[in-house]
Amino acid sequence: MHPTPRLKAGIFVRALIRRAEVEGASAFIVRKGNEEAGAIILKVARLDGTVLVLNQARMGDGALVWARPLGEAVAEARAADWCDKQVRFDPDLWIVEIEDRQGRAFVDEAIV
C-alpha cells in the first residue's frame, strides 16, 4: 500500500481559505508555518465567543483526519493558550482561523 501524497501546507491553507470565502465565511492565516510541510491547526470561531479547535492527525491506516484536541467548542482564551503551547512545540505550525456562525470547517476529511 502506498501512502497518499501530501499536498503542500501552503497550498492546502490557501485552498481552504478560498473554499470558506466562496461559502460565505471568513478565513485567514493567524500564523504562517512551513510552506512545504508544516502541520495545520484550524480554529473555527462561531462568533459567539467559542472556538472549535481541529488539528491534523493520521489514523492507523494512514488516512488524514481532523481531531478535536479540546473536545467540543471552548472559550477563545482556552483555544489561544492551547495554540500557543503547540507553536512552542512545533515552530513550523500553521494556524488558520475560520469565522462561521454555522461552525463549518470546510475540510473533506473526517472530524473525529
- Mean pLDDT of each 10-residue bin along the chain, 112 residues long: 68 97 98 92 96 94 93 96 96 97 96 94
Alpha helices for the chain (secondary structure H)? 9-22, 76-89
Query: Could you tell me the domains of the chain?
Result: 9-99 (3.40.1530.20)
Place of cell 481559505: 17
- Write out pLDDT tens, residues 78-94: 999 999 999 999 999 99
Rounded distance between C-alpha atoms, residue 67 and residue 101, angstroms: 20
